[in-house]
Amino acid sequence: MHIGIDLDNTILDATSAFLHYYNIASGLSLTHVDVNDFYLYRLYGWDKEERDAVYNKYGHDIHWNSSPLPMAIEILQKLYTQHQISIITARPLLFREVTINWLQHHKINYHNITLIENKLQACIQAKVDVLIDDGPHYAEEFALVNKPVILYEQPYNVSVANPLVFRATNWNEVDKHVDYLASNLNLS
């Protein structure tokens, strides 16, 4: 089975690093309790241009200092031996090098990596069978074209409901969903 896997808030805890650096830039003290939007910068009252300026300044540090989620590395190592793994992230190309270095540093193996905003198109072109992601809009887009999604649960994606969306609150649940999809949807 070909599995597309997001990075931020799926393989790793990006929220903590973003909050840390966005708080430095803004002078605010937002915490995880405040996070209810996939687009974190909106919680700071920034428009996209302001967000881009802060992200371009701190993005390398944000991405390097993000910690893997519990069991993500171990489960990914197992999945890599059984499936084709493509990292598919909406990170800008500016952060490709730090992304690859972070993956190497944490010994996360993968077959392909794509940095692109339009994940659906990238997954269709690469013949990805299932996407593991936290983005509510990605889950909805995939379900609309009858592709299964394992949605890594975050406060901002709890409203997504579709029979093709399989929720996971940890990487052990991700692993169980992958096994189920591989055996029941003939995707292996």
Of residues 170, 121, 184, 178, the one with CA closest to residue 149? 178
Alpha helices by DSSP H, the chain: 14-26, 48-64, 72-82, 96-105, 119-126, 136-144, 171-184
Rg, C-alpha atoms of the chain:
16
Residue 75: pLDDT above 50?
yes
Distance from C-alpha of 148 to C-alpha of 125, rounded to nearest angstrom: 16
- 3-class state of residue 37 by DSSP: coil
pLDDT at 45: 97
pLDDT band per the 50, 70, 90 thresholds, residue 186? low
For residue 19 the two structure tokens come to 């909050």
Distance from C-alpha of 174 to C-alpha of 6, rounded to nearest angstrom: 13
Give the list of residues 6+ apart from residue 56 with CB closer than 8 angstroms, or none.
94
Segment 153-163 mean pLDDT: 96
Segment 92-118 mean pLDDT: 97
Backbone angles phi, psi at 149, to 5 degrees: -130, 135
Q: Look at the chain and count its residues.
A: 188
Segment 178-186 mean pLDDT: 89
CA 35 to chain centre: 16
Of residues 100, 136, 138, 132, the one with CA closest to residue 119? 138
Distance from C-alpha of 169 to C-alpha of 88, rounded to nearest angstrom: 20
pLDDT tens digits along 107-154: 999 999 999 999 999 999 999 999 999 999 999 999 999 999 999 999
Number of H helices, E strands in the chain: 7, 8
pLDDT at 185: 75
What is the 8-class DSSP label of residue 8?
B
CA dihedral of 177, 107, 2, 111, whole degrees rounded to 10: 180
pTM of the model: 0.96
Identify the residue whose tokens are 């300044």.
Answer: 57
